[in-house]
Structure 1
Amino acid sequence: MVDIKKLTVSTDEERKGWIQLLETAIAYHWDMSGEFEPEVKTPNRDSDMEKVAETHRVWARAIQDTIELIKMWEIESSDEVLTPHNTVNVTPEN
């Protein structure tokens, strides 16, 4: 388990790396929603396939919201970056 208070981003490049990784996840979930969306819809859109497609769309939207939060987490050149003791680096590899 990772303590959320210990998650940091030290550079703008790290922040952009997270955004790029999450944008890939969004594309995956939109693609998967299309794969599961049946051509013939049920009246209440409650077939198993429709539910799976909707779940992938919800995940894509949630990930997009996460990206918007990360974009607000911009590091200014004048900001002093403080790294707490025992910080866990969770930056995705490029």
Structure 2
Amino acid sequence: METIVGWHIEMEFLEDGDKTRADCVLRLPDGAVLRAHGRADRFPTDPAQQRVGEEIAAARALDDLRHQLLAKAGAEIEEATHKPAHLVS
């Protein structure tokens, strides 16, 4: 039987002049909560494009989240197998 599982990531942005910060939260079914952050800094001579700053900051936050998820999965594999996990991203 096929099981469908879904995760929802909450993403918020803070704009401060030419700086954009993205904060994301992922609540996993095992009760773990992962928080990740990313930022984007607009070069002063670039045009103000809020959406682009959000996209860059979000991508960096998701990359941070990717690292955390791989570390969590690796730790769980090592706990179960008592051998080093070698996860390739």
Q: Same fold (TM over 0.5)?
A: no
Structure number with the higher strand fraction is 2
Decide which structure has greater helix share.
Answer: 1
Structure with max Cα Rg: 1
- Structure 2 length as normaliser, TM-score? 0.36
